[in-house]
A and B are shown apart, each in its own frame.
Chain A
Amino acid sequence: MKLTAEEQRMLDGGHGRATQKAMEILVALGTIYGAAQMVPVTSVQVSGVSYDNLGEAGLHWLSAMADGGGRTRVLTTLNPAGMDIENWRALGIDEEFARNQLRVIDAFARMNVITSCTCTPYLAGHAPHFGQHIAWAESSAVCYANSVIGARTNREGGPSALAAALTGVTPEYGFHLEVQRRPAITIDVQAALSETSDFGALGVVIGQRLERFKEKPVPYLRGIERASVEQLKSFCASIATYGGAAMFHMAGVTPEADRYAPPDETIVITQADLDQAQQALTSAESVEADFVSLGCPHLSIGEIARIAALLEGRRVTKEFWITTARATKQIADQMGYTRTIEAAGAKFAADTCCVVAPIKGRFKALVTDSAKACYYAAGKNKFKTVIKPFDEVVLAALEQD
Protein backbone atom coordinates (compact mmCIF):
# COMPACT_ATOMS: atom_id res chain seq x y z
CA MET A 1 0.00 0.00 0.00
CA LYS A 2 1.23 3.49 -0.85
CA LEU A 3 1.27 5.78 2.20
CA THR A 4 1.82 9.53 2.35
CA ALA A 5 4.71 10.81 4.48
CA GLU A 6 2.24 11.79 7.21
CA GLU A 7 0.54 8.38 7.16
CA GLN A 8 3.95 6.68 7.35
CA ARG A 9 4.84 8.88 10.33
CA MET A 10 1.65 7.75 12.10
CA LEU A 11 2.53 4.11 11.35
CA ASP A 12 6.05 4.60 12.70
CA GLY A 13 4.76 5.98 16.00
CA GLY A 14 5.51 9.65 15.40
CA HIS A 15 2.03 10.63 16.63
CA GLY A 16 1.94 8.37 19.68
CA ARG A 17 0.94 4.82 20.48
CA ALA A 18 -2.82 5.08 19.87
CA THR A 19 -2.46 6.70 16.45
CA GLN A 20 0.16 4.08 15.55
CA LYS A 21 -2.20 1.26 16.55
CA ALA A 22 -4.98 2.90 14.54
CA MET A 23 -2.79 3.13 11.43
CA GLU A 24 -1.67 -0.50 11.87
CA ILE A 25 -5.34 -1.54 11.73
CA LEU A 26 -6.00 0.50 8.58
CA VAL A 27 -2.88 -0.70 6.77
CA ALA A 28 -3.72 -4.34 7.56
CA LEU A 29 -7.29 -3.92 6.24
CA GLY A 30 -6.03 -2.07 3.19
CA THR A 31 -3.58 -4.91 2.53
CA ILE A 32 -6.21 -7.63 2.94
CA TYR A 33 -8.73 -5.91 0.66
CA GLY A 34 -6.22 -4.68 -1.93
CA ALA A 35 -6.45 -0.91 -1.38
CA ALA A 36 -3.86 1.08 -3.34
CA GLN A 37 -3.91 3.98 -0.87
CA MET A 38 -5.75 5.71 1.96
CA VAL A 39 -8.54 8.20 1.35
CA PRO A 40 -9.29 11.12 3.73
CA VAL A 41 -12.64 10.87 5.55
CA THR A 42 -14.81 13.73 6.79
CA SER A 43 -17.02 11.86 9.22
CA VAL A 44 -16.89 8.79 11.49
CA GLN A 45 -19.60 6.84 13.32
CA VAL A 46 -18.24 4.38 15.91
CA SER A 47 -20.10 1.22 16.99
CA GLY A 48 -19.39 -0.97 19.99
CA VAL A 49 -20.59 1.46 22.66
CA SER A 50 -22.95 -0.61 24.81
CA TYR A 51 -21.09 -2.22 27.73
CA ASP A 52 -23.40 -5.20 27.16
CA ASN A 53 -21.56 -5.86 23.85
CA LEU A 54 -18.07 -4.52 24.68
CA GLY A 55 -17.48 -6.17 28.04
CA GLU A 56 -14.42 -5.44 30.18
CA ALA A 57 -11.98 -6.26 27.36
CA GLY A 58 -13.51 -3.74 24.97
CA LEU A 59 -13.55 -1.08 27.69
CA HIS A 60 -9.92 -1.86 28.53
CA TRP A 61 -8.86 -1.41 24.90
CA LEU A 62 -10.77 1.88 24.52
CA SER A 63 -9.18 3.18 27.73
CA ALA A 64 -5.72 2.17 26.46
CA MET A 65 -6.36 4.08 23.22
CA ALA A 66 -7.42 7.18 25.19
CA ASP A 67 -4.39 6.83 27.53
CA GLY A 68 -2.16 6.38 24.48
CA GLY A 69 -3.03 9.85 23.27
CA GLY A 70 -5.71 8.94 20.71
CA ARG A 71 -7.63 12.05 19.63
CA THR A 72 -10.16 12.36 16.80
CA ARG A 73 -9.17 14.25 13.66
CA VAL A 74 -12.68 14.41 12.13
CA LEU A 75 -16.28 14.73 13.33
CA THR A 76 -16.99 11.48 15.21
CA THR A 77 -20.16 10.35 16.98
CA LEU A 78 -21.27 7.15 18.73
CA ASN A 79 -23.79 4.39 18.30
CA PRO A 80 -26.42 3.84 21.01
CA ALA A 81 -25.17 2.98 24.49
CA GLY A 82 -26.67 0.32 26.75
CA MET A 83 -28.76 2.85 28.67
CA ASP A 84 -30.18 6.35 28.78
CA ILE A 85 -27.17 8.28 30.10
CA GLU A 86 -29.33 10.48 32.34
CA ASN A 87 -32.48 8.51 33.04
CA TRP A 88 -31.13 4.94 33.43
CA ARG A 89 -32.59 4.29 36.87
CA ALA A 90 -36.19 4.77 35.67
CA LEU A 91 -35.54 2.18 32.95
CA GLY A 92 -34.46 -0.48 35.46
CA ILE A 93 -30.71 -0.49 34.66
CA ASP A 94 -28.55 -1.66 37.59
CA GLU A 95 -25.84 0.46 39.25
CA GLU A 96 -22.88 -1.67 38.22
CA PHE A 97 -23.86 -1.70 34.56
CA ALA A 98 -24.41 2.07 34.66
CA ARG A 99 -20.97 2.64 36.20
CA ASN A 100 -19.27 0.56 33.51
CA GLN A 101 -21.29 2.19 30.73
CA LEU A 102 -20.22 5.62 31.95
CA ARG A 103 -16.55 4.47 31.91
CA VAL A 104 -17.01 3.57 28.22
CA ILE A 105 -18.51 6.99 27.45
CA ASP A 106 -15.68 8.64 29.38
CA ALA A 107 -13.01 6.80 27.35
CA PHE A 108 -14.60 8.03 24.12
CA ALA A 109 -14.94 11.57 25.49
CA ARG A 110 -11.22 11.61 26.34
CA MET A 111 -10.52 10.94 22.66
CA ASN A 112 -12.69 13.98 21.76
CA VAL A 113 -15.45 11.80 20.33
CA ILE A 114 -18.78 13.63 20.47
CA THR A 115 -20.70 11.33 22.82
CA SER A 116 -24.02 11.68 21.05
CA CYS A 117 -25.26 8.08 21.15
CA THR A 118 -27.55 7.35 18.22
CA CYS A 119 -27.92 5.00 15.26
CA THR A 120 -29.37 7.91 13.22
CA PRO A 121 -26.55 10.47 13.34
CA TYR A 122 -27.97 11.92 10.11
CA LEU A 123 -31.05 13.06 12.11
CA ALA A 124 -29.00 14.53 14.93
CA GLY A 125 -26.54 17.02 13.52
CA HIS A 126 -24.13 14.61 11.84
CA ALA A 127 -25.11 14.39 8.18
CA PRO A 128 -22.45 13.95 5.49
CA HIS A 129 -23.26 15.09 1.97
CA PHE A 130 -23.24 13.47 -1.45
CA GLY A 131 -19.94 11.95 -2.56
CA GLN A 132 -18.07 12.39 0.72
CA HIS A 133 -15.84 9.58 1.95
CA ILE A 134 -16.78 8.59 5.50
CA ALA A 135 -16.16 5.63 7.86
CA TRP A 136 -19.35 4.52 9.57
CA ALA A 137 -19.91 1.41 11.64
CA GLU A 138 -23.66 1.29 12.31
CA SER A 139 -25.04 -1.09 9.70
CA SER A 140 -28.36 0.71 9.18
CA ALA A 141 -26.65 4.11 8.98
CA VAL A 142 -24.01 2.71 6.58
CA CYS A 143 -26.81 1.63 4.25
CA TYR A 144 -28.59 4.99 4.63
CA ALA A 145 -25.40 7.01 4.02
CA ASN A 146 -24.38 5.05 0.91
CA SER A 147 -27.84 4.71 -0.61
CA VAL A 148 -29.97 7.68 0.44
CA ILE A 149 -27.28 10.34 0.91
CA GLY A 150 -24.76 9.09 -1.65
CA ALA A 151 -21.80 9.34 0.74
CA ARG A 152 -19.24 6.52 0.57
CA THR A 153 -18.47 4.06 3.34
CA ASN A 154 -17.72 0.40 3.94
CA ARG A 155 -19.37 -1.49 6.78
CA GLU A 156 -16.80 -0.73 9.47
CA GLY A 157 -16.39 -2.51 12.79
CA GLY A 158 -15.93 -0.59 16.05
CA PRO A 159 -12.09 -0.63 16.09
CA SER A 160 -11.67 0.15 12.36
CA ALA A 161 -14.07 3.10 12.60
CA LEU A 162 -12.22 4.43 15.64
CA ALA A 163 -8.95 3.97 13.72
CA ALA A 164 -10.34 6.17 10.93
CA ALA A 165 -11.37 8.79 13.50
CA LEU A 166 -7.88 8.93 15.05
CA THR A 167 -6.04 9.16 11.72
CA GLY A 168 -8.58 10.93 9.48
CA VAL A 169 -8.23 8.30 6.73
CA THR A 170 -9.56 4.90 5.66
CA PRO A 171 -8.24 2.40 3.10
CA GLU A 172 -9.69 3.04 -0.36
CA TYR A 173 -11.52 -0.17 -1.31
CA GLY A 174 -15.10 -1.47 -1.49
CA PHE A 175 -17.85 1.17 -1.50
CA HIS A 176 -15.32 4.02 -1.75
CA LEU A 177 -14.82 2.96 -5.37
CA GLU A 178 -17.36 3.74 -8.09
CA VAL A 179 -17.17 0.25 -9.57
CA GLN A 180 -18.28 -1.43 -6.32
CA ARG A 181 -21.42 0.74 -6.17
CA ARG A 182 -22.76 -0.54 -9.48
CA PRO A 183 -26.06 -2.49 -9.14
CA ALA A 184 -25.97 -6.16 -10.15
CA ILE A 185 -29.55 -7.31 -9.60
CA THR A 186 -32.96 -5.73 -10.21
CA ILE A 187 -35.65 -6.02 -7.54
CA ASP A 188 -39.09 -5.53 -9.05
CA VAL A 189 -41.40 -4.50 -6.20
CA GLN A 190 -44.99 -5.37 -7.14
CA ALA A 191 -46.64 -4.43 -3.86
CA ALA A 192 -48.07 -1.36 -2.15
CA LEU A 193 -45.88 -0.12 0.69
CA SER A 194 -47.26 2.50 3.05
CA GLU A 195 -45.99 1.75 6.56
CA THR A 196 -42.50 1.64 8.09
CA SER A 197 -43.31 -2.00 8.92
CA ASP A 198 -43.95 -2.69 5.20
CA PHE A 199 -40.54 -1.30 4.31
CA GLY A 200 -39.04 -3.43 7.09
CA ALA A 201 -40.69 -6.52 5.63
CA LEU A 202 -39.34 -5.61 2.19
CA GLY A 203 -35.83 -5.50 3.68
CA VAL A 204 -36.36 -8.96 5.17
CA VAL A 205 -37.50 -10.45 1.85
CA ILE A 206 -34.69 -8.90 -0.20
CA GLY A 207 -32.11 -9.73 2.47
CA GLN A 208 -33.13 -13.38 2.45
CA ARG A 209 -33.08 -13.55 -1.36
CA LEU A 210 -29.54 -12.14 -1.39
CA GLU A 211 -28.33 -14.80 1.07
CA ARG A 212 -27.51 -17.28 -1.70
CA PHE A 213 -24.93 -14.96 -3.31
CA LYS A 214 -21.34 -15.33 -2.14
CA GLU A 215 -20.54 -11.80 -3.29
CA LYS A 216 -23.58 -9.73 -2.32
CA PRO A 217 -24.87 -7.85 -5.40
CA VAL A 218 -25.97 -4.22 -4.94
CA PRO A 219 -29.76 -4.28 -5.51
CA TYR A 220 -31.55 -1.88 -7.84
CA LEU A 221 -35.17 -1.47 -6.70
CA ARG A 222 -37.94 -0.30 -8.96
CA GLY A 223 -41.67 0.03 -8.44
CA ILE A 224 -41.52 2.30 -5.37
CA GLU A 225 -42.64 5.79 -6.32
CA ARG A 226 -41.72 7.62 -3.16
CA ALA A 227 -40.41 6.91 0.30
CA SER A 228 -40.10 9.09 3.42
CA VAL A 229 -36.97 9.40 5.56
CA GLU A 230 -38.69 7.23 8.18
CA GLN A 231 -39.58 4.52 5.65
CA LEU A 232 -36.06 4.55 4.21
CA LYS A 233 -34.41 4.27 7.63
CA SER A 234 -36.66 1.30 8.43
CA PHE A 235 -35.77 -0.34 5.12
CA CYS A 236 -32.03 0.30 5.58
CA ALA A 237 -32.03 -1.25 9.05
CA SER A 238 -33.86 -4.31 7.80
CA ILE A 239 -31.89 -5.02 4.62
CA ALA A 240 -28.62 -4.51 6.53
CA THR A 241 -29.71 -6.87 9.31
CA TYR A 242 -31.22 -9.63 7.18
CA GLY A 243 -29.01 -9.34 4.09
CA GLY A 244 -25.77 -7.70 5.22
CA ALA A 245 -26.43 -5.05 2.56
CA ALA A 246 -24.34 -1.87 2.64
CA MET A 247 -26.04 -0.19 -0.31
CA PHE A 248 -29.00 -0.23 -2.69
CA HIS A 249 -30.39 1.98 -5.42
CA MET A 250 -34.10 2.88 -5.62
CA ALA A 251 -35.24 4.31 -8.95
CA GLY A 252 -36.78 7.76 -8.54
CA VAL A 253 -35.75 7.95 -4.86
CA THR A 254 -31.99 7.57 -4.29
CA PRO A 255 -29.45 9.90 -5.93
CA GLU A 256 -27.19 7.45 -7.80
CA ALA A 257 -29.96 5.28 -9.30
CA ASP A 258 -30.14 7.37 -12.49
CA ARG A 259 -26.53 6.52 -13.33
CA TYR A 260 -27.44 2.93 -14.09
CA ALA A 261 -29.81 0.89 -16.22
CA PRO A 262 -31.67 -1.84 -14.32
CA PRO A 263 -29.52 -5.04 -14.35
CA ASP A 264 -30.93 -7.96 -16.37
CA GLU A 265 -31.12 -10.49 -13.55
CA THR A 266 -34.42 -9.73 -11.83
CA ILE A 267 -36.21 -10.84 -8.67
CA VAL A 268 -39.95 -10.06 -8.40
CA ILE A 269 -41.36 -9.35 -4.95
CA THR A 270 -45.13 -9.50 -4.45
CA GLN A 271 -47.57 -8.50 -1.74
CA ALA A 272 -47.76 -12.17 -0.72
CA ASP A 273 -43.98 -12.18 -0.04
CA LEU A 274 -44.33 -9.14 2.23
CA ASP A 275 -47.34 -10.59 4.05
CA GLN A 276 -45.47 -13.83 4.62
CA ALA A 277 -42.45 -11.96 6.02
CA GLN A 278 -44.65 -10.02 8.45
CA GLN A 279 -46.31 -13.25 9.59
CA ALA A 280 -42.91 -14.83 10.15
CA LEU A 281 -41.92 -11.90 12.39
CA THR A 282 -45.06 -12.32 14.49
CA SER A 283 -44.79 -15.13 17.05
CA ALA A 284 -47.32 -13.88 19.62
CA GLU A 285 -50.64 -12.07 19.96
CA SER A 286 -50.26 -8.41 20.89
CA VAL A 287 -52.43 -8.86 24.01
CA GLU A 288 -49.79 -11.29 25.35
CA ALA A 289 -47.02 -8.72 24.88
CA ASP A 290 -45.57 -7.00 27.95
CA PHE A 291 -43.14 -4.69 26.10
CA VAL A 292 -43.75 -2.11 23.40
CA SER A 293 -40.93 -0.22 21.69
CA LEU A 294 -40.69 2.29 18.87
CA GLY A 295 -37.38 3.73 17.71
CA CYS A 296 -35.33 1.09 15.86
CA PRO A 297 -33.69 2.97 14.17
CA HIS A 298 -34.03 5.98 16.48
CA LEU A 299 -37.21 8.02 15.96
CA SER A 300 -37.42 11.27 14.04
CA ILE A 301 -39.11 14.26 15.68
CA GLY A 302 -42.05 13.75 13.29
CA GLU A 303 -42.59 10.23 14.60
CA ILE A 304 -42.47 11.45 18.20
CA ALA A 305 -45.07 14.13 17.41
CA ARG A 306 -47.32 11.36 16.06
CA ILE A 307 -46.92 9.27 19.23
CA ALA A 308 -47.79 12.30 21.37
CA ALA A 309 -50.95 12.90 19.31
CA LEU A 310 -52.04 9.27 19.73
CA LEU A 311 -51.32 9.15 23.48
CA GLU A 312 -52.84 12.54 24.39
CA GLY A 313 -55.10 12.07 27.43
CA ARG A 314 -54.73 8.27 27.45
CA ARG A 315 -52.89 5.75 29.60
CA VAL A 316 -50.60 2.90 28.52
CA THR A 317 -51.00 -0.58 30.02
CA LYS A 318 -47.59 -1.99 29.03
CA GLU A 319 -43.94 -1.01 29.44
CA PHE A 320 -43.48 1.31 26.43
CA TRP A 321 -40.02 2.58 25.41
CA ILE A 322 -39.57 5.41 22.95
CA THR A 323 -35.96 5.34 21.79
CA THR A 324 -34.31 8.28 20.08
CA ALA A 325 -31.24 10.51 19.97
CA ARG A 326 -30.92 12.86 22.94
CA ALA A 327 -30.90 15.83 20.53
CA THR A 328 -34.26 14.71 19.10
CA LYS A 329 -35.67 14.20 22.60
CA GLN A 330 -34.66 17.76 23.47
CA ILE A 331 -36.82 19.02 20.61
CA ALA A 332 -39.66 16.86 21.99
CA ASP A 333 -39.10 18.45 25.42
CA GLN A 334 -39.31 21.92 23.88
CA MET A 335 -42.51 21.08 21.99
CA GLY A 336 -44.28 19.55 25.01
CA TYR A 337 -44.40 16.07 23.39
CA THR A 338 -42.32 14.59 26.21
CA ARG A 339 -44.82 15.80 28.82
CA THR A 340 -47.79 14.35 26.92
CA ILE A 341 -46.04 11.02 26.35
CA GLU A 342 -44.79 10.66 29.93
CA ALA A 343 -48.20 11.66 31.32
CA ALA A 344 -49.58 8.65 29.45
CA GLY A 345 -47.06 6.44 31.25
CA ALA A 346 -44.73 5.76 28.30
CA LYS A 347 -40.97 6.18 28.83
CA PHE A 348 -38.32 7.94 26.80
CA ALA A 349 -35.09 5.98 26.46
CA ALA A 350 -32.67 8.41 24.81
CA ASP A 351 -29.09 7.33 23.87
CA THR A 352 -30.08 3.64 23.79
CA CYS A 353 -32.47 1.16 22.20
CA CYS A 354 -34.03 -2.24 22.73
CA VAL A 355 -31.26 -3.90 20.66
CA VAL A 356 -28.30 -2.88 22.84
CA ALA A 357 -29.83 -2.37 26.32
CA PRO A 358 -29.28 -5.25 28.80
CA ILE A 359 -32.92 -6.42 28.91
CA LYS A 360 -32.59 -10.20 28.38
CA GLY A 361 -35.05 -11.98 30.67
CA ARG A 362 -37.01 -8.84 31.57
CA PHE A 363 -39.85 -9.26 29.06
CA LYS A 364 -41.71 -12.05 27.29
CA ALA A 365 -42.97 -10.47 24.07
CA LEU A 366 -42.24 -7.26 22.16
CA VAL A 367 -44.56 -5.23 19.91
CA THR A 368 -42.73 -2.98 17.42
CA ASP A 369 -42.89 -1.63 13.86
CA SER A 370 -39.24 -2.63 13.27
CA ALA A 371 -38.08 -5.80 11.52
CA LYS A 372 -34.55 -5.21 12.87
CA ALA A 373 -35.84 -4.96 16.45
CA CYS A 374 -37.67 -8.28 15.94
CA TYR A 375 -34.41 -9.94 14.83
CA TYR A 376 -32.48 -8.97 17.96
CA ALA A 377 -35.43 -9.41 20.32
CA ALA A 378 -35.81 -13.01 19.19
CA GLY A 379 -32.12 -13.87 18.77
CA LYS A 380 -30.36 -11.97 21.56
CA ASN A 381 -33.09 -11.51 24.14
CA LYS A 382 -35.29 -14.58 23.46
CA PHE A 383 -38.51 -12.54 23.33
CA LYS A 384 -41.51 -13.39 21.19
CA THR A 385 -42.25 -10.63 18.69
CA VAL A 386 -45.19 -8.87 17.03
CA ILE A 387 -44.69 -6.52 14.08
CA LYS A 388 -47.41 -3.94 13.35
CA PRO A 389 -47.78 -0.61 11.57
CA PHE A 390 -46.54 2.38 13.62
CA ASP A 391 -49.94 3.70 14.83
CA GLU A 392 -51.11 0.21 15.75
CA VAL A 393 -48.00 -0.30 17.88
CA VAL A 394 -48.99 2.75 19.92
CA LEU A 395 -52.55 1.43 20.21
CA ALA A 396 -51.21 -1.96 21.35
CA ALA A 397 -49.60 -0.19 24.31
CA LEU A 398 -53.10 0.98 25.34
CA GLU A 399 -54.75 -2.47 25.14
CA GLN A 400 -56.34 -3.93 28.24
CA ASP A 401 -55.51 -7.56 29.04
Chain B
Amino acid sequence: MKLQGRPIYKGAAAGEALVTSMGISFFGGVDPDSGIVVEKGHQLEGQSISGRVLVFPTGKGSTVGSYTLYRLKMNGRAPAAIVNAECETITAVGCIIAEIPCVDHIPIERLVTGQTLSVDGAQGTVEMRA
Protein backbone atom coordinates (compact mmCIF):
# COMPACT_ATOMS: atom_id res chain seq x y z
CA MET B 1 0.00 0.00 0.00
CA LYS B 2 1.23 3.47 -0.85
CA LEU B 3 0.73 6.58 1.32
CA GLN B 4 0.85 9.99 -0.32
CA GLY B 5 2.53 12.77 1.69
CA ARG B 6 4.46 15.94 0.94
CA PRO B 7 7.99 16.00 -0.56
CA ILE B 8 10.58 17.63 1.74
CA TYR B 9 13.81 16.32 0.21
CA LYS B 10 14.32 14.25 -2.91
CA GLY B 11 15.89 10.84 -3.27
CA ALA B 12 14.63 7.27 -3.01
CA ALA B 13 15.50 4.75 -0.32
CA ALA B 14 14.14 1.56 1.20
CA GLY B 15 14.77 0.06 4.59
CA GLU B 16 13.41 -1.38 7.78
CA ALA B 17 11.10 1.04 9.62
CA LEU B 18 12.00 2.35 13.08
CA VAL B 19 8.88 4.07 14.43
CA THR B 20 8.35 6.27 17.48
CA SER B 21 5.46 8.43 18.62
CA MET B 22 7.93 10.77 20.37
CA GLY B 23 9.70 13.79 18.87
CA ILE B 24 13.45 13.50 18.23
CA SER B 25 16.15 15.99 19.17
CA PHE B 26 19.15 15.10 17.02
CA PHE B 27 21.51 17.44 18.90
CA GLY B 28 22.15 15.78 22.23
CA GLY B 29 19.52 13.08 21.59
CA VAL B 30 21.40 10.96 19.03
CA ASP B 31 25.07 10.00 19.25
CA PRO B 32 26.57 11.28 15.96
CA ASP B 33 29.35 8.69 15.92
CA SER B 34 27.23 5.56 16.50
CA GLY B 35 23.74 6.60 15.36
CA ILE B 36 22.31 5.36 18.67
CA VAL B 37 19.50 7.28 20.39
CA VAL B 38 20.84 8.43 23.74
CA GLU B 39 18.03 10.66 25.01
CA LYS B 40 17.05 9.44 28.49
CA GLY B 41 13.56 8.00 28.62
CA HIS B 42 13.04 8.08 24.83
CA GLN B 43 11.11 5.15 23.31
CA LEU B 44 14.09 4.53 21.01
CA GLU B 45 16.78 4.92 23.69
CA GLY B 46 19.61 2.48 22.95
CA GLN B 47 18.48 1.72 19.38
CA SER B 48 20.41 2.62 16.23
CA ILE B 49 18.80 4.79 13.55
CA SER B 50 21.52 3.93 11.01
CA GLY B 51 20.20 2.63 7.71
CA ARG B 52 16.61 2.60 9.00
CA VAL B 53 13.60 4.47 7.66
CA LEU B 54 13.18 6.67 10.72
CA VAL B 55 9.54 7.54 11.43
CA PHE B 56 8.66 10.17 14.08
CA PRO B 57 6.06 12.92 14.48
CA THR B 58 8.32 15.98 14.37
CA GLY B 59 11.78 17.26 15.31
CA LYS B 60 12.58 19.30 18.41
CA GLY B 61 15.49 20.94 20.23
CA SER B 62 18.49 22.96 19.09
CA THR B 63 18.93 24.08 15.48
CA VAL B 64 22.45 22.61 15.72
CA GLY B 65 20.61 19.28 15.23
CA SER B 66 20.73 19.87 11.46
CA TYR B 67 24.50 19.49 11.65
CA THR B 68 24.10 16.29 13.69
CA LEU B 69 22.27 14.70 10.73
CA TYR B 70 25.10 15.85 8.45
CA ARG B 71 27.66 14.37 10.83
CA LEU B 72 25.77 11.04 10.94
CA LYS B 73 25.87 10.96 7.14
CA MET B 74 29.62 11.67 7.07
CA ASN B 75 30.14 8.84 9.56
CA GLY B 76 28.02 6.43 7.52
CA ARG B 77 25.48 6.22 10.37
CA ALA B 78 22.58 8.28 8.96
CA PRO B 79 19.03 6.93 8.57
CA ALA B 80 18.17 5.76 5.03
CA ALA B 81 15.17 8.11 4.96
CA ILE B 82 13.01 10.18 7.32
CA VAL B 83 9.20 10.16 7.50
CA ASN B 84 7.39 12.74 9.66
CA ALA B 85 3.84 13.68 10.47
CA GLU B 86 4.88 17.36 10.38
CA CYS B 87 8.43 18.28 9.39
CA GLU B 88 10.09 21.37 10.92
CA THR B 89 13.19 23.46 10.22
CA ILE B 90 15.82 21.38 12.03
CA THR B 91 14.96 18.07 10.37
CA ALA B 92 14.27 19.61 6.94
CA VAL B 93 17.56 21.53 6.84
CA GLY B 94 19.41 18.48 8.20
CA CYS B 95 17.97 16.22 5.48
CA ILE B 96 18.83 18.70 2.74
CA ILE B 97 22.43 19.27 3.81
CA ALA B 98 22.98 15.54 4.51
CA GLU B 99 21.00 14.45 1.40
CA ILE B 100 18.60 12.14 3.22
CA PRO B 101 15.22 11.56 1.48
CA CYS B 102 12.44 13.09 3.58
CA VAL B 103 8.63 13.06 3.37
CA ASP B 104 5.99 14.47 5.74
CA HIS B 105 2.20 14.69 6.07
CA ILE B 106 2.12 10.89 6.47
CA PRO B 107 -0.30 9.22 8.95
CA ILE B 108 2.61 7.69 10.87
CA GLU B 109 0.37 5.80 13.30
CA ARG B 110 -0.23 3.36 10.42
CA LEU B 111 3.47 2.46 10.26
CA VAL B 112 5.12 -0.12 12.52
CA THR B 113 8.70 -0.90 13.41
CA GLY B 114 10.16 -3.77 11.42
CA GLN B 115 8.13 -3.44 8.21
CA THR B 116 9.98 -2.60 5.01
CA LEU B 117 9.27 0.89 3.68
CA SER B 118 10.18 2.48 0.35
CA VAL B 119 10.39 6.25 0.47
CA ASP B 120 10.33 8.44 -2.62
CA GLY B 121 11.29 11.93 -1.49
CA ALA B 122 10.60 13.62 -4.82
CA GLN B 123 7.09 12.16 -5.09
CA GLY B 124 6.37 12.43 -1.36
CA THR B 125 5.31 8.79 -1.09
CA VAL B 126 5.88 5.99 1.40
CA GLU B 127 5.18 2.42 0.23
CA MET B 128 4.62 -0.44 2.67
CA ARG B 129 5.80 -3.80 1.44
CA ALA B 130 4.17 -6.96 2.65
- Interface on A for B, CB 8 Å cutoff? 21, 24-25, 28-29, 31-32, 48, 53-58, 60-61, 157-160
Taking A159-B97, A160-B89 as contacts, is the C-beta distance between A24 and B9 under 8 angstroms? Answer: yes
Q: How far is the CA of A56 from the CA of B67 in the complex (A)?
A: 9
List chain A residues, Cβ under 8 A from B104: 32
Closest 9 CB pairs of A and B: A57-B71, A157-B63, A58-B67, A28-B92, A159-B93, A57-B67, A57-B70, A24-B96, A25-B96
Interface residues of B in 71-105 (CB under 8 A from A): 71, 74, 87-90, 92-93, 96-97, 104
Q: How far is the CA of A24 from the CA of B7 in the complex (A)?
A: 12
Centre residue among A29, A54, A57, A160 by max chain B CB count within 10 A? A57
B67 with A61: CB separation less than 8 A: yes
How far does the Cβ of B32 sit from chain A's closest Cβ, in whole Å?
Answer: 7
Q: Is the interface of A mostly helix, strand, loop or mixed?
A: helix
Q: How far is the CA of A159 from the CA of B66 in the complex (A)?
A: 8
B93 with A157: CB separation less than 8 A: yes
A57 with B96: CB separation less than 8 A: no
List chain B residues, Cβ under 8 A from A48: 63-64, 67
B89 with A29: CB separation less than 8 A: yes
A61 with B97: CB separation less than 8 A: yes
Centre residue among A21, A48, A159 by max chain B CB count within 10 A? A159
B8 within 8 A of A: yes
B6 within 8 A of A: yes
Q: How far is the CA of A72 from the CA of B64 in the complex (A)?
A: 22
Which of A28, A31, A55 meets B67, CB within 8 Å? A55
A-B contact pairs, 17 of them (CB 8 A): A24-B96, A25-B97, A28-B8, A28-B9, A28-B93, A32-B87, A32-B92, A32-B104, A48-B64, A48-B67, A53-B64, A54-B67, A55-B67, A61-B67, A157-B89, A157-B93, A159-B93
List chain A residues, Cβ under 8 A from B87: 32
Interface string of B45-71 (1 = CB under 8 A from A): 000000000000000000110111011
Q: How far is the CA of A32 from the CA of B68 in the complex (A)?
A: 21
Closest to B27 in A: A53
Which of A25, A29, A57 meets B68, CB within 8 Å? A57
Closest to A59 in B: B67
Closest to B102 in A: A28
A157 with B90: CB separation less than 8 A: yes
How far does the Cβ of B49 sit from chain A's closest Cβ, in whole Å?
Answer: 16
